[in-house]
Chain A
Amino acid sequence: MLEIDQLTVKRDQQTLRYQVQVEAGEILAIQGCSGVGKSTLLGVIAGFVTPTGGSLRWQGQDLLTRPPEQRPVSMLFQDNNLFEHISALDNLKLGFDGPPPLRAIEDAASSLGVSDLLHKKPATLSGGQRQRIAIIRTLLRPEPIVLLDEPFAELDQQTRGIASDWVAAIARQSDKTLLLVTHQQEDVTRLADRALVL
C-alpha cells in the first residue's frame, strides 16, 4: 500500500496538503483545477519535490529518505520524457536493470501503432507519437509504482482510447499501483478504480 499521511509541501506562498492511501495494484485518477498541486504530488512521490512535513510510505517503508534513483517508481513527466538525440528504440531500452524486454517493447509498439517509428529520433515525431513511446517505457519498466502526468494530453480521441485500454491492461497484468493526473472524465471511467479530486 502507498500511504501518504499529512504530507505538506510549500509552494510559493501557499502550503499544499495531501492525505491519501492507495492499495497495491489500484489505479487512482487525480483530478482538480490547474495549480492545485496534482503534478506536485507526483513529484513528491517520485522524489523530485521535497515536502516540508508528513510521511510517505510504500509497503510500510519510508520513501522520503530515499533519493529518486532508489524509489520503486516509474514516472511519465508532462514533457522531456525522451532523449531527443537518440532513437525512439534506444530511449525505450533505458530504465531496465538487466537486458530490456525487446519482445514486450515490440508488442507494445505494435499495439499503440508506433512500430514504424522506433528507429526515428524523437525530434522527428509528432507530440502524440512521442507520448505513446514514453508511455510504453514508463509502463514496461519493472517498478511497482507508476506515475503518469497527463499521459494522453496530446492524443486524438481514437488513439486516446487505444492507449488508455493498453495502459489499463498492462497495469492490471503486472499488478502496478498507478496514479495518473488527468483532466478528462473519460480517462477516469475507462481506466481508474477511483478518482481523487484535489
Chain B
Amino acid sequence: MLIAGYAALLLSSLITLLAFAGLIGFSDAAVDWALLSDRYFHSVLLFSLKQAALSTLLSLLLAWPLARALYYLPELPARRSFLSLCLLGFVMPTLVLITGLVALLGRNGYLTPLLGDNWNLYGLNGILIAHIYLNLPYAVRVLLQQLQHIPDRSWVLARQLKLSPWQRLRLVEWPVLKPSLLLLSGFIFVLCFNSFAVVLALGGGPGATTLEVAIYQALKYDFNMAEALTLAWTQLLIAGGLFLLLNRAGSSRWLTADSMVRGNTPPTAVWMRQIHRAIYLIAWGCLLLPVLALLPALFQADLLRFDWMALLAPTLTSLSLALAAALAAMVLAYLMLFPIRHSHRQRKARRRLLLEWLSTHALVAPAMVISVGLYIFLLQRIDLDRWGIAFVALLNMAVIIPFAIQQLKPRLLQYDAQYQQLSQSLKLSRLQQLRIEWPFIRAAFTATFALILLLALGDVAIISIFGGDDWQTLPLLIYSYAGSYRITEASIASLLLLLICAALVGLLERVKQDA
C-alpha cells in the first residue's frame, strides 16, 4: 500500500510536471524576465494580491459576528438549514452565483436602481461580492466549530469570576479562534488569489485581472507562452509558498464534520440577542438573494416550450465527468495518505510536510496552466478530439484531490492514533485492517465524496480548454448562454445545476448527521 501511495503521489506530480513540460517545450518558451519590470505585470500582480487580501479580510470580518450569533443562539429558527446553505454557498458553481449576481446587481438587476448611478458590478466590486459570497459561509462554519470547542468549564469559570463581556471575548473566545484564523485566512487568500471564473466574468481590463485570468488571456488571445510561463511561476511561487507556510503552521479541519456538536450555551444580554437575531436574518437574506434572483426567469420563460433536451446532454456529461473524477480522486487520495500516515507515525516531520505539500500542490498550481500545458503536451501525441474528455476527468480529479486529502486526513490520523498499535499487536492482515477501518471512516469518506463531487460539478476552467462541441457540461453551457445574453436560459440552467448541488449538500449533511 505504501508503494501504491507513492505511485499515486508520483502520478499527481507527473500531471503538473508534464503540463509545465508542455508549456516550456512549446517553441522552447522560456521565462520572460522583462515582463517582471512591465507595468502590466505589476498591475495584475497588485490587483491579484489586493482583491485576495480584501476578500479574505471582509469574509472573516463578516463571518465572525455571524458565527457568534449561531453559537450564542442555538435555538435560532432553521439554524441547521442555514448551515447547509453555508455549505452550498462554499461549493456553489461560480457561474451559478455569477448569473444570480448579474440578475440581482447587474446593469438591469433587481436591486441596481437602489444603488445609485455610479454603481457598477463589474470590477473590484463584483469580484469582492462574489468572493465573499463563496468564502464567508465556509469561514462561518469553521469559526462556529472553533467556538463550539470552548469547554463548558471555561464558561462556568467566567461566570464565577464575573468577567465582563470584553474579558470573556478576550480570555475565552479569542484563544480558541486565534489558532484557526491564520490557517483560515491563508486558505481563503489562496482560493481568491487563484480565482478564475469569478474574475473572468466580473473583472476586466488590466485594472481588474488576476494572474490566473492573465495566464488565460496570454494563452488564448496572444498565444504568448513566455508570458504565460512567467505569470504561472509567479502565481505558483506566491500561492505555493504561502500554502507551504500554512502546512507548517498546522492543519485545519476543512468544512468541519461536527459543526452541530455543542455544549451549554453561555447566557447573553437581551440587547445582544436582538443583535445576533438581526445579523442572522440579514445573513439569510444575503445568502438567498442571488439564488432567488434566478427564479423570475422561470416565470418569464415559456417552460413548456423551453428546450429542456438542450440541458439533458450537458447535465449527464457534467454528472458523469464529476462522478469519474470524484471516484478516482477518492481512491488516489486514500492511497496518497498511506505514506503521509506512515511518516506521521514515524515522526518524520520533514518528510510528512513534503508529502502533504505534494499531495495538495494542485490547490496552488494554476489550473489554467495545468490544463493548457497538458493540452499542448498531449496535442501532438494523442487524438484529443477523441480522448479529451478523459483528460477533463483526469484534471478535475487532480484539482479536487487536495480537498479529499484534507477531509480524510484528520479521520485517518485519528484512527492511527487510537488503533495503530492495536492493529500491529493483533497482527491484522491488510484485508482485516481495511474491513475494520471502513466503518470508522465511512461517514467521513461519504461526506468527502459528496463534497468533491460538488466541486467537480462546478468546473469551468478545465472544460473551457479541453471542451468541444460534442460534450458540453452544464457550467460551460451556462457560460455560453450568458455570453450570448440569453439570461433566461442561463438562469434556468443555473437553477438546474443548483438543484443538483443542493441535493448533494442534503446528502452530505445527512451523512454527517448519521455519523
| Cβ of A58 to closest chain B Cβ, rounded Å | 16
A80 to B426, CA, bound (A): 13
Q: From residue B42, how far is it (CB to closest CB) to chain A in Å?
A: 54
Q: From known contacts A80-B418, A80-B419, A83-B419, infer whether A75 and B439 are also in contact, taking CB-CB under 8 Å.
A: no
B380 at the interface (CB under 8 A from A): no
Choose one: A47, A77, A85, A141; the contact of B422 (CB below 8 Å).
A77
Segment of A8-16, A66-74, A156-164 engaged in the interface with chain B: A66-74
**Residues in chain A near residue B440, CB distance under 8 A:** 83, 85
Residues of B within 8 A of A85 (CB): 439-440
> Is the CB–CB distance between B419 and A68 below 8 Å?
no
Alpha-carbon distance A46/B424, docked complex (angstroms) = 10
Are the CB atoms of A75 and B425 closer together than 8 Å? yes
Inter-chain contact B436/A80, CB cutoff 8 Å: no
**A94, B422: Cα distance in complex, Å:** 10
Q: Which residues of B contact A69 (CB under 8 A)?
A: 424, 427
In whole angstroms, how far apart are the Cα atoms of A154 and B77 in the complex? Answer: 45
Please name the residue on chain A nearest to B435 by beta carbon.
Answer: A86
Whether, in the assembled complex, A25 has its beta carbon less than 8 Å from a beta carbon of chain B, the answer is no
Contact B439 A86 (CB under 8 A): yes
B428 within 8 A of A: yes
Complex alpha-carbon distance, A75 and B422, angstroms: 9
Q: Is the interface of A mostly helix, strand, loop or mixed?
A: loop
Q: Are A83 and B425 in contact (CB under 8 A)?
A: no
Q: How far is the CA of A48 from the CA of B439 in the complex (A)?
A: 26
Provide the residues of chain A in CB contact with B436, threshold 8 Å: 83, 86, 94
Chain B CB within 8 A of A55 CB: no
Cβ < 8 Å to B, chain A residues 140-180? 141
Q: How far is the CB of A143 from chain B (nearest CB, A)?
A: 9
Chain A residue total in the interface (Cβ 8 A): 19
Decide if B427 touches A48 in the complex (CB within 8 Å): no
B421 touches A95 (CB 8 A): no
> Looking at the complex, which one of A48, A81, A86, A94 makes contact with B428 (CB distance below 8 Å)?
A94
> Do the beta carbons of B425 and A73 come within 8 Å of each other?
yes
Complex CA gap A183/B426 in Å reads 26
A48 to chain B, nearest CB (A): 6
Could you tell me if B425 and A74 are in contact, using CB atoms closer than 8 angstroms? yes
Could you tell me if B419 and A95 are in contact, using CB atoms closer than 8 angstroms? no
Tell me if A94 and B432 are in contact (CB < 8 A).
Answer: yes
The SS class assigned to the B binding surface is helix
Measured between beta carbons, the chain B residues less than 8 angstroms from A81 are: 422
Interface string of A25-67 (1 = CB under 8 A from B): 0000000000000000000001110000000000000000001
Contact of B439 with A46 in the complex, beta carbons under 8 Å: no
How distant is the Cα of A141 from the Cα of B422 in the complex, in angstroms?
Answer: 13
In the complex with contacts A86-B436, A94-B432, A48-B421 CB distance below 8 A: yes
Partner of A94, one of B418, B426, B439: B426
A73 and B425 CA atoms in complex are apart in Å by 8
Binary CB contact string for chain A from 94 to 125 against chain B (1 if under 8 A, 0 otherwise): 11000000000000000000000000000000
In the complex, what's the smallest C-beta–C-beta distance from A43 to chain B, in angstroms? 9
Closest chain-A Cβ to B450's Cβ sits at a distance in Å of 21
B424 touches A80 (CB 8 A): no
Q: Which of A67, A86, A95 contacts B426 (CB 8 A)?
A: A95
State whether B422 touches A80 (Cβ < 8 A): yes
Contact flags (1/0) for B438-457 with A, using CB distance below 8 Å?
A: 01100000000000000000
- Chain B residue with minimal CB distance to A46? B425
Is the CB–CB distance between A83 and B424 below 8 Å? no
Pick from A69, A74, A84, A141 the residue with the most CB of B within 10 Å.
A69
Question: Across the interface, do A68 and B439 meet the contact criterion of CB distance under 8 Å?
Answer: no
Please name the residue on chain A nearest to B441 by beta carbon.
A85
Q: Within 8 Å CB of B418, what residues of A?
A: 80, 84
CB-CB < 8 A to A74: which residues of B?
A: 425
A73 to chain B, nearest CB (A): 7
Chain A nearest CB from B159 CB (Å) reads 32
6 contacts between A and B (CB under 8 A): A81-B422, A86-B436, A86-B439, A94-B426, A94-B428, A95-B425
Known pairs A69-B427, A94-B432, A95-B426. 13 more at Cβ < 8 A?
Answer: A46-B425, A48-B421, A69-B424, A73-B425, A74-B425, A75-B425, A77-B422, A77-B425, A81-B422, A84-B418, A94-B436, A95-B427, A95-B428
6 shortest interchain CB distances as A-B pairs: A95-B426, A68-B424, A85-B439, A69-B427, A85-B440, A94-B426
